[in-house]
Chain A
Amino acid sequence: MAELAAPPEAGIQAEQRIAVATQWQLMWWRFRKHKLALAGTLVLIGFYLVAVFAEFLAYVDPQESDAQRSLIAPQSIHWSDDGRFAPYVYGLKGTRDPVTFKRVYVPDTSKKVPITFFGRGEHYQFLGLIPMDRHLFAVEDAKVAESLFLMGTDTQGRDLWSRLMYATRTSMTIGLVSVALSLVLGVVLGGISGYFGGVIDTIIQRIIEILRSIPTIPLWMGLAAALPGDWSVVQVYFAITIIISLIGWTELARVVRGRFISLKEEDFVMAAELVGCSKARIIFRHMVPSFISHIIAATTLAIPAIIISETSLSFLGLGLRPPAISWGVLLQDAQNIQALVISPWLLIPSFAVIVAVLAFNFMGDGIRDAADPYL
């Protein structure tokens, strides 16, 4: 405790500060001490910024394919030219290997392509509203689609960097949408179960137990395979979120129920009842504020599981399907082990998955510790 080491006056001040701090302030102070959780939070903010600014960060249309540009390796960027900061890449010459007939690309050292920041590129609608054509990366005197490959290209010659930006948007939001659905189900059912108890509680608890003892992936596969093939990208997206959250709500319900049961016995709830508060007021004014932090923690910890589920399903070809772009869809290209050995950069999206899941876990752990002073 830093406060204890401080001189006495400062200690008293700190104590007074703690005495008048709100619940959220106290939580924030505890959370702040958890360095990993803070780091995780920063990483996640970064991820969601990518999700918002995907069009700006991508420099080409993620769907634009060209057989002439398939499986280009990530380019190395040369950061300085003649000692000053002027990043550039070399142009690429595509040729056929006379022996294997594979396409090979060699850097054309005579052709320097300077990279500029915030330059003009393809037109897009920022947030679907504001027409813009500025991108984080652009190149001078060349077509960007033909010269810039920060993370290489896939088998169809689509730029992996740009696709990864859009995939981040899909995968990060699918977690949010799905967890929101699970949250509604979990809070309502868990709340009912915990507050009323009795037969309803038993029934809901048995349903949860049954759902938890079913292997989820075969079930998801079955449900996802049943989605009509002619559905649009958006329809499939929402269907998948619903399928995932239908099974994912049980953990949240368990947390909510546990909190309800333990709070029901608290003196302040009893006091509120004696004063004659209505049920709704007791629940929403007295009980919910004291366990909302636990719900936030449980929710945060539920998101990574959802991201992994979506990625796994899409990887199998049963989740989101092209032209939708998500991390799982990108990783489908990495299924073939031979292809992977020749072009290992196809595995790059997996780092995004791992980092995002780790960050969520760290942040969730931090929130949980901060929310519960007794642990």
Chain B
Amino acid sequence: MLAYIVRRLLLAVLTVWAISVLSFIIIHLPPGDYVTSYIASMSASGSAVSEGEAKALREQLGLDKPITIQYMKWMGLMLQGNFGMAMEWGRPVTDVIGDRLTLTVVISLAAIVFTWALALPIGIYSAVYRYSFLDYLFTFVGFVGLAIPGFLLALIVMYVGFAWFGANVGGLFSPEFAEAPWSFAKAWDLTKHLPIPAIVLGVAGTAQLIRIMRSNLLDELRKPYVVTARARGLPEYRVIMKYPVRVALNPFISTIGYLLPYVVSGSIIVSLVLSLPTVGPLLLKALIAQDMFLAGTIVLLLGVLTVVGTFLSDLLLMWVDPRIRLGRE
């Protein structure tokens, strides 16, 4: 059990490191740096930046050092919780990202809860009543759900909301709460706005999970112990829920590890379409403005959060599956 935790933890640390390198590469990939694009935007608005000013700015931002040094420096700052300045905004990155990151987490979690709440009963139903009308219906809907990219679903939802109901279904807060400090009323307002983004984000994952749950449970239901249980006269509900579902649930939980990166990814694009105040729109803006520190930090933080989530799901798996808990895999 301890070995399992240690292995998972090591892998998580390794993943975080890989993500940090990738984020740093992203920061440095574009030709030119922030100062180049700053100069370009300044000269576009009519004011020139002199050679000396540019040099001073680069020194101030540490952009003149070799790349490995810059990486070390960056990582060092990151580990201290100092994420640097979002240059375009002239404010610390934590200030700019803070709330948005929380909301990203909230939305992703809501999407996963939605996915689970829907996929579990439907998956069980589809397996138990295989080839029934509803099973076919769910399979079909699932296929369509998988085929629609998140942003498209978001667009369609926006369109339907706007054209048929005359309401803007985007956003996470009513206008009067958007800038308000956190309060109970604001949290309630958020809860009311959550379902639509959660559903839009969760649909594709739900479709996948239903298929996994269905095929896992089908495999289990074929096994002799189920026949034995039935032959012994166990009520049908217990025959299904007590053992096969529990066993089938196992891969279900381990897929969170894959579901989470997927949902976080999706939230970026869906947020852009539904104009949700998550890190998505911020990331796009930062990338376009080549505010690479901000962009890199967002990619890094998203990655780290995902890794933490995956690690937690590993622990959950351990709790559910005695084979892992007892050290036999």
Contacts and interface: CB of A to CB of B under 8 A. Distances in A.
A362 interface: yes
A222 B283 CA distance: 9
Interface residues of B, number: 53
A335 interface: yes
Contact of A304 (B29, B31, B147): B147
Contacts of A206: 11, 14
Nearest to A218: B299
Nearest to A358: B147
B303 interface: yes
B115 to A, nearest CB: 16
B287 A213 contact: no
A214 B287 contact: no
Nearest to A224: B287
B139 to A, nearest CB: 10
Contacts of B18: 210, 214
Contacts of B272: 316
Nearest to A311: B149
A217 B15 contact: no
Contacts of A311: 149, 152
A214 B149 contact: no
Nearest to A230: B31
A340 B159 contact: yes
Contacts of A316: 269, 272, 284
A123 B149 CA distance: 36
Interface in B261-312: 261-262, 264-266, 268-269, 272-273, 283-284, 287-288, 290, 295-296, 298-299, 302-303, 306-307, 310
Contacts of A63: none
Interface residues of A, number: 41
Q: Say whether chain B's binding surface is mostly helix, strand, loop, or mixed.
A: helix
Interface string B146-158: 1111111001101
A315 B228 CA distance: 55
Interface string B6-29: 000001001100110011001001
A26 B186 CA distance: 62
A358 B26 contact: no
Contact of B26 (A212, A215, A222): A222
Contacts of B261: 212-216
B159 A347 contact: yes
Interface in A299-324: 304, 308, 311-312, 315-318
Contacts of A354: 144, 147-148, 152
B79 interface: no
Given A215-B302, A222-B26, A312-B151, A341 B163 contact: yes
B299 to A, nearest CB: 5
Contacts of B26: 219, 222-223, 226
A223 B29 contact: yes
A214 B15 contact: yes
Contacts of A216: 261, 265
A221 interface: yes
A209 interface: yes
A331 interface: yes
Contacts of B29: 222-223, 226
A210 B303 CA distance: 10
Contacts of B269: 217, 312, 315-316
B303 A221 contact: no
B163 A353 contact: no
B327 interface: no
Best-buried of A209, A217, A219, A334 by chain B (most CB within 10 Å):
A217
A221 B146 contact: no
Nearest to A357: B147
Contact of A341 (B159, B290, B302, B310): B159
12 contacts: A214-B15, A215-B302, A222-B26, A222-B287, A225-B295, A317-B288, A337-B158, A340-B158, A341-B162, A344-B159, A350-B152, A361-B147
Interface of B: 11, 14-15, 18-19, 22-23, 26, 29-31, 143-144, 146-152, 155-156, 158-159, 162-163, 168, 170, 257-258, 261-262, 264-266, 268-269, 272-273, 283-284, 287-288, 290, 295-296, 298-299, 302-303, 306-307, 310
Given A222-B287, A304-B147, A350-B156, 6 more contacts: A206-B11, A212-B261, A214-B261, A214-B303, A316-B272, A362-B143
